[in-house]
């Protein structure tokens, strides 16, 4: 393992003895086949008020290591070594003793807050549950503590919102509530497992500020488990890089980013999409002031929106919800248009309206020459074969009862009269095109990794050689190295096959890599549209400026400067 002494300019060492001290940890899982060694000889320490980031790809052992701190491993796990939490070896504690440790000494912030919160109980009840389990009997005192901690994590009007249910909060607010649950008992260490993975960049910046404040104000140690190197640069004091169950490099954050020693660390950093710089933008044309744009391949636009409106109807006589209000843009043959904005800005609604999955209610939306406002399904159905759709979560968009080959073949079976032999040949060619071995076609969706499923989803979307592809957040939950491979496949296929694409994402760096033009949405309204380099380098609208300033970059020095810029924009 590569390990270094702090260099000048690194974060100072925090004082005090270690809150967490992991010594030669080895964790093996029993399976129907051979045992799987998930963690292989890990040594880590975390001190009070310190943020240790544990990074690596899926399967590297980082989440298993984090869960071992709270004794959350399944019965199939065999643990060797020691996990000392405030002096107690967690691996030797009974179930009753572990329940006393959890919440009081250590707490966990899970990756998906919607699955961590019980939908049938108010958040106040869930916050006070931990207090009741640890001896706080007074309902009044427990409620007061719950309201206090909700205020500390920035939930507005905590006195009334303490009685609300999880579905009444946004994704970022739910993540704050989960952090509040970790704080309510004054835990000495918080294990945060991918706490910002599915969040928009602006919400992600708020959560990182909150974790930074928790570390500073409460002297809480944080074990940050993530694959986002920008988040690591923004928050971490030290970084441990894991690969195949081992820690291959550990160093102060600034030293690691400035001079990574291990080849795997260098590969991780190289895979991070970067925002363009002015030095690399020579020759890029000026941003267009309107939606009109020269066609890259000639011919009429495949998609043409003019003052597009999408309104979701409401009940009980209340006005409907305007998901999209006055959007105008075009997608030319062979063009990739990036569509960016926060959750709720209308990005996915526009993509679904183009595919005929959501009804456009006003203005005009021409798709492949067909008007989508007031369209009839029977008239539009023949055009569906010319549109491909890559969904955000392939795990839920694939039928779990069908093999990957059957899932990819389904569009061919529905829209063509190809023979079974021709279908098999086409599926094999599509698997080759997305760089998946042909025998993967015999596997079921759950037997593939996230990146492999996303590539299979891309193969299914391309099965009918579509003229237009709609990709809805196709890389948002992937590791950086896996994301890089998926984006390489997407770029290669788009250049070779020449299909047009609407690429929907909240990751501006990813969109900047792929798209020739970018449209920025804010609360259903387009606020900026133009050439990618111009939008990213010289944003005119304050919302675009705030989005760009919120993107964390894999450089602790530059990220500190960007935090100051974001704070100035917020004032």
Would you call 554 exposed, middle or buried from its count of C-beta atoms within 10 A (0-12, 13-18, 19+)? Answer: buried
Enumerate residues 6+ apart whose C-beta is below 8 A from 535. 287, 517, 518, 520, 528, 529, 544
286: confidence class by pLDDT, cuts 50, 70, 90: very low
Q: What percent of the chain has pLDDT over 90?
A: 48
Q: Is a pLDDT exceeding 80 seen at residue 162?
A: yes
284: confidence class by pLDDT, cuts 50, 70, 90: very low
Predicted local distance difference test score (pLDDT) of residue 449: 72
Predicted local distance difference test score (pLDDT) of residue 365: 94
User: Each residue of 520-531: b (16+ CB within 10 Å) or e?
Assistant: bbbebbbbbbbb
Q: How many CA atoms lie within 13 A of 98 on its CB side?
A: 14
**What CATH number belongs to 303-540?**
3.40.50.300
Domain boundaries, the chain: 19-270, 303-540
Section 186-198 average pLDDT: 86
Predicted local distance difference test score (pLDDT) of residue 170: 76
Section 243-272 average pLDDT: 93
Enumerate residues 6+ apart whose C-beta is below 8 A from 120. 165
Tell me the pLDDT tens digit for each residue of 199-243: 778 888 888 988 998 899 889 999 999 888 889 999 999 999 999
Average pLDDT, the chain: 86
**What CATH number belongs to 19-270?**
3.40.50.300
Enumerate residues 6+ apart whose C-beta is below 8 A from 346. 310, 323, 324, 325, 327, 521, 523, 524, 525
Tell me the pLDDT tens digit for each residue of 524-546: 888 999 999 899 999 999 999 88
Backbone angles phi and psi of 221, in degrees to 5: -80, 145
Q: Is a pLDDT exceeding 60 seen at residue 409?
A: yes
Predicted local distance difference test score (pLDDT) of residue 90: 93
Predicted local distance difference test score (pLDDT) of residue 301: 93
| Distance separating alpha carbons of residues 40 and 278, to the nearest angstrom | 44
| Distance separating alpha carbons of residues 499 and 452, to the nearest angstrom | 22
| Distance separating alpha carbons of residues 174 and 161, to the nearest angstrom | 12
CB 410 within 8 Å of CB 430: no
CA angle at residue 513 from 509 to 518, to 5 degrees? 80
Whose structure tokens read 């009429």? 300
Q: Is a pLDDT exceeding 70 seen at residue 72?
A: yes
Tell me the pLDDT tens digit for each residue of 361-379: 999 999 999 999 988 888 8
| Distance separating alpha carbons of residues 54 and 232, to the nearest angstrom | 9
This prediction's pTM? 0.78
Q: With the C-alpha atoms ordered 481, 27, 88, 69, is the resulting torsion angle positive or negative?
A: positive
Predicted local distance difference test score (pLDDT) of residue 7: 47
User: Each residue of 284-309: b (16+ CB within 10 Å) or e?
Assistant: eeebeeebebeeeeeeebbbbbeebb
CB 333 within 8 Å of CB 500: yes
Predicted local distance difference test score (pLDDT) of residue 2: 57
CB 239 within 8 Å of CB 230: no
| Distance separating alpha carbons of residues 145 and 227, to the nearest angstrom | 34
Section 379-395 average pLDDT: 86
Task: Answer yes or no: same fold for 19-270 and 303-540.
Answer: yes
Section 280-302 average pLDDT: 51
Q: How many CA atoms lie within 13 A of 295 on its CB side?
A: 13
Enumerate residues 6+ apart whose C-beta is below 8 A from 24. 41, 42, 43, 80, 81, 82
């Amino acid at each position: 393992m590569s390990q270094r002494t702090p260099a000048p300019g690194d974060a100072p060492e925090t004082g005090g003895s270690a809150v967490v001290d992991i010594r030669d940890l080895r964790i093996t899982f029993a399976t129907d086949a051979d045992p799987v060694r998930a963690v292989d000889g890990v040594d880590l320490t975390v001190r009070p008020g310190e943020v240790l980031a544990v990074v690596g790809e899926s399967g590297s052992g980082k989440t298993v290591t984090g869960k071992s701190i709270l004794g959350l491993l399944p019965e199939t796990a065999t643990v060797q070594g020691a996990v000392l939490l405030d002096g107690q070896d967690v691996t030797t504690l009974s179930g009753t003793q572990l329940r006393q440790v959890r919440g009081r000494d250590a707490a966990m912030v899970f990756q998906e807050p919607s699955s961590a919160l019980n939908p049938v109980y108010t958040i106040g009840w869930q916050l006070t549950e931990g207090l009741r389990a640890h001896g706080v009997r007074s309902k009044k005192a427990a409620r007061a503590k719950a309201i206090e901690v909700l205020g500390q994590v920035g939930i507005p009007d905590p006195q009334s919102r303490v009685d609300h249910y999880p579905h009444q909060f946004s994704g970022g607010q739910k993540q704050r509530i989960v952090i509040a649950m970790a704080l309510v008992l004054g835990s000495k260490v918080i294990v945060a497992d991918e706490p910002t993975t599915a969040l928009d960049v602006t919400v992600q910046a708020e959560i990182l500020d909150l974790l930074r404040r928790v570390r500073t104000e409460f002297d809480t140690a944080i074990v940050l488990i993530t694959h986002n190197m920008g988040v690591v640069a923004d928050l971490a004091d030290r970084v441990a890089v894991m690969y195949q169950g081992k820690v291959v490099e550990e160093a102060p954050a600034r030293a690691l980013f400035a001079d990574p020693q291990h080849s795997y660390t260098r590969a991780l950093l190289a895979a991070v999409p970067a925002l363009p710089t002015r030095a690399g933008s020579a020759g890029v044309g000026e941003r267009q002031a309107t939606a009109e744009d020269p066609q890259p391949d000639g011919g009429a636009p495949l998609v043409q929106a003019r003052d597009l409106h999408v309104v979701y109807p409401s009940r009980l006589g209340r006005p409907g919800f305007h998901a999209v209000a006055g959007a105008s843009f075009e997608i030319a043959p062979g063009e990739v248009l990036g569509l960016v904005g926060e959750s709720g800005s209308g990005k996915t609604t526009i993509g679904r309206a183009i595919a005929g999955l959501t009804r456009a209610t006003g203005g005009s939306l021409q798709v492949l020459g067909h008007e989508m406002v007031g369209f009839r399904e029977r008239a539009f159905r023949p055009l569906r074969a010319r549109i491909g759709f890559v969904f955000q979560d392939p795990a839920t968009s694939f039928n779990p009862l069908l093999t990957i080959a059957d899932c990819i073949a389904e569009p061919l079976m529905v829209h063509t009269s190809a023979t079974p032999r021709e279908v098999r040949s086409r599926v094999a060619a599509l698997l080759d095109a997305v760089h998946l071995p042909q025998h993967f076609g015999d596997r079921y969706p759950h037997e593939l990794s996230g990146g492999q499923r996303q590539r299979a989803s891309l193969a299914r979307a391309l099965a009918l050689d579509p003229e237009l592809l709609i990709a809805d957040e196709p890389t948002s939950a992937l590791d950086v190295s896996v994301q890089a491979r998926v984006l390489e496949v997407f770029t290669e296929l788009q250049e070779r096959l020449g299909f047009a694409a609407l690429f929907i994402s909240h990751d501006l760096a990813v969109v900047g890599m792929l798209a020739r033009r970018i449209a920025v949405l804010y609360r259903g309204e387009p606020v900026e549209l133009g050439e990618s380099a111009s939008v990213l380098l010289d944003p005119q609208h304050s919302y675009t400026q705030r989005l760009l300033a919120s993107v964390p970059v894999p450089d602790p020095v530059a990220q500190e400067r960007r935090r100051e810029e974001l704070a100035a924009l917020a004032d």
